[in-house]
Structure 1
Amino acid sequence: MGVLAGREWPRPAGGDDRGRVVTCDLAFDVQEPADIAVQIAPAERGGRMHAERLELAIDGAPLAPPVELAAPHGGRIHLLRVPRGLFAASYRADLDSPRPRPGPHPTGVAGDEPLDLQRLTYLRPSRYCPSDHVVGLAVAEFGALPQGRPRVDAVVDWIHHRIGYVAGASTVHDTAEDTLLTGQGVCRDFAHLGVTLCRALGIPARFTAVYAPGLTPMDFHAVFEAWTDGAWHVHDPTRRVPRDGLVRIATGRDAADTAFAAVLGGIATLRSVEVTATVTGLLPADDHRAEAVLA
């Protein structure tokens, strides 16, 4: 699934018609030549790819294709070297449904790090998820519940009912502690808080950036996954979209690992970002207490 100006794969006969189309358009004002890393392509496990196109331009002139790096859990990072000017990146992918499914998730998938190392990594505090600071709260609120899935379900319910979804209520510097103090945030804050409380309870949890058909207004979306009953189950405390339509982009400890764009060197300012995610047919209603595993 390499990166190219344009590439297509034939659809298999009799395949799943419940496809997904995702797009992202970015624009940067580049004041000094910059190195930019973007994570906007679906993860390798995000569904069978039928076509993808990545077009890069500076002041309207085409740029050479970027370098693609493999990130954890099938993620794809594209490294761009951009000269001064107005930089534009336009991405589109057409893929089959990467539908979450109930039941155990396969372990030992080729290319994954060992699961015991995953669990260790996602138990530790991280930049936006200072789980060691909220152990007292987590134990007081959820410690009386049976371990594992009952605690995760209670965490998701607690966040959904206690935290208000308010557009623009937080900044890129806010951690889960800020969300607890203000009682409001957006999807990344809800996901960070879910990760933080789960880790404080001894449950491995990780942050996942996704495309989300059905989201209004349309944007990138964030959910979290918790390790229970031998699987990474996906949870969305915002309950704003059906998990059935989610397309994995990037997975990590928190938003620092999954940012859609990061300026690594030089000077560049994000001017605009537009995201779309559509699905063929109707998205079903989601019972958010049901088990689901994201592809």
Structure 2
Amino acid sequence: MWLQTSCSLEFDAPVATPFLLMLRPRSGGQQWIAREQYVLTPSVPAVEFTDTFGNLCQKLVSPTGPFTIRTSADINAADFADAEPYARFVPVNHLPIDALPFLYPSRYCESDTFTEMASLITANCAPGYGQCIAIVEYIQQSLQYAPGSGQEIISAAEANTRTQAVCRDMAHLGIALCRALSIPARMVVGYLETLRPMDLHAWFEAYVGGRWFTFDPTQHDLEGCRVAIAYGRDAADVAIYTQFGEPLELKRMSVDVQRLPGPPT
């Protein structure tokens, strides 16, 4: 499926402000970036680098006054996330090296405090994909998905005490529970074509059966094209922008995803 994605961020900076940005999706897995545009207004120099997790990042200093970041991309993406109910648990000693960082507790995913709970939730499941599904079902039964209800980032432990949550919080809980079972799990931020109201979206992936699979506690199925922008241990690793110095207000943010009739010409 061909999609056109776009994201726009508008700021008004009282002083020149350093930024780290993470807004460029990369080709790989179930997505191919055919064309993209990245516009800074006014134009300023930017340095691009790849972080520890392979995300494409940009470093720049905004000028004083109005500053806008606009990105768009034409992307060929899978129209559904595949599933494998019989994918087995991979013992830690057989995991690839790049999956190991996603086993540890992290800032917002205190997996070391969820060991007993994760074992109870998955007590009747075969190790692997089935455990991940049981975790997703537990989150859906425990938390009401309430998009737009939480601006403050909360951890898995705090999310587990609430009755409603945003996608990011639900992903944190899923990641922590998976890691408590020695299943590598990582957060993904990106676009979901079917999301309403439209915004950037967060879900998680777990490593079972020798590869990463998508899990999304906000959905009862995995329909709709997804475009991943960034991967990380939790929300601290996948912020689309990080601003340094005096706090700066985001004046406006807009996100859009449209289907294209075919490949761009």
Give a deviation string over 1:188-209, Cα, whole Å, max 9, x none.
1111111011011111100001
Q: Partner residue of 1:14? A: none
Given the alignment, which residue of 254, 260, 263 partners 1:280?
Answer: 260
Instruction: State the Cα distance separating 1:65 from its structure 2 match.
Output: 4.5
Contact map agreement 2:147 2:167 (CA 8 A) in 1: no
Aligned-partner Cα distance in 2 for 1:35–1:158:
41
* 1:191 counterpart (153, 162, 171): 171
The residue that corresponds to 2:87 in the other structure is none
Residue number in structure 2 paired with 1:30: 13
Q: Deviations over 1:214-263 (max 9, x none)?
A: 11000000110001111100111101784550001000000111111111
Distance in 1 (alpha carbons) for counterparts of 2:221 and 2:37: 26
User: What corresponds to 1:124 in structure 2?
Assistant: 104
Tell me the alpha carbon deviations over residues 44-69 of structure 1, each in whole angstroms, 9 at most, x when there is no partner: 32633332111111xxxx31342111
Match of 1:56 in 2: 40
Given the superposition, is the C-alpha separation of residues 135 and 102 from structure 1 closer, same or farther in structure 2, using an over 3 Å criterion? closer
Give the 3 Å change call, closer, same or farther, for CA 252–115 of structure 1 in structure 2: farther
- One-letter identity of the residue aligned with 2:169: D
Determine if contact 1:35/1:266 at 8 Å carries over to the other structure.
no
Of residues 243, 251, 255, the one that matches 1:271 is 251
The unaligned stretches of length 5 or more in structure 2 are 85-93
Partner residue of 2:4 out of 7, 15, 21: 21
Find the aligned partners of 2:68 and 2:202 in 1 and give their Cα distance.
Answer: 24
CA contact (8 A) 2:193 2:224 kept: no
Give the number of aligned pairs: 252
Asked if 2 retains the 8 angstrom alpha-carbon contact of 1:38 and 1:79, the reply is yes
Q: How does 1:99-248 map to 2 (within 5 A)?
A: 100-101=81-82, 116-239=96-219, 242-248=222-228
Percent sequence identity over matched residues? Answer: 33
Deviations 1:115-141 (A, max 9, x none): 633332111001111111122211222
Q: CA deviation at 1:161?
A: 2.0
CA RMSD, 1 decimal: 2.4
Distance, in Å, in 2 between the alignment partners of 1:250 and 1:233 is: 15
User: Does the 8 Å contact 1:32/1:268 carry over to 2?
Assistant: no
Which residue identity lines up with residue 41 of structure 1 in the other structure? R
1:214, 1:242 within 8 Å by CA — same for their partners in 2?
no
One-letter amino acid of the structure 2 residue matched with residue 84 of structure 1:
T
Residue 176 of structure 1 deviates from its aligned partner by: 1.0
**Paired residues of 1:168 and 1:185 also in contact (CA < 8 A):** no
What's the counterpart of residue 5 of structure 1?
A: none
Who is 1:107 aligned against? none
Structure 1 gap segments, 5+ residues each: 1-17, 104-113, 282-295
Q: Structure 1: which 4+ aligned runs deviate by more than 6 Å?
A: none
**In the TM superposition, what whole-angstrom CA distance separates every residue of 1:125-161 from its partner, at most 9, and x where no partner exists?**
0111111112221122223422111111111111122
CA contact (8 A) 2:19 2:242 kept: yes
**TM-score, normalised with respect to structure 1:** 0.78
Aligned counterpart in structure 1 of residue 240 of structure 2, from 249, 256, 260: 260
Equivalent-residue separation in structure 2 for 1:47 and 1:250 (angstroms): 13
Q: Secondary structure at the match of 1:48?
A: strand
Instruction: Give me the whole-angstrom Cα distance separating, in 1, the residues matched to 2:68 and 2:220.
Output: 30
Label 1:141 to 1:49 Cα distance change in 2 as closer, same or farther (>3 A): closer
Q: Does the Cα contact within 8 Å between 2:114 and 2:180 map onto a contact in 1?
A: yes
**What TM-score results when the alignment is normalised by the length of structure 2?**
0.86
Deviation readout 1:7-59 (Å, 9 max, x if unpaired): xxxxxxxxxxx2110000101121221111111221232633332111111xx
The 1:212/1:260 distance shift into structure 2, 3 A limit, reads: same
- Give deviations 1:165-199, integer Å, cap 9, x for gaps: 12344343311111110121011111111101101
SS at match of 2:248: strand
Task: Give SS of 2:136's match.
Answer: helix
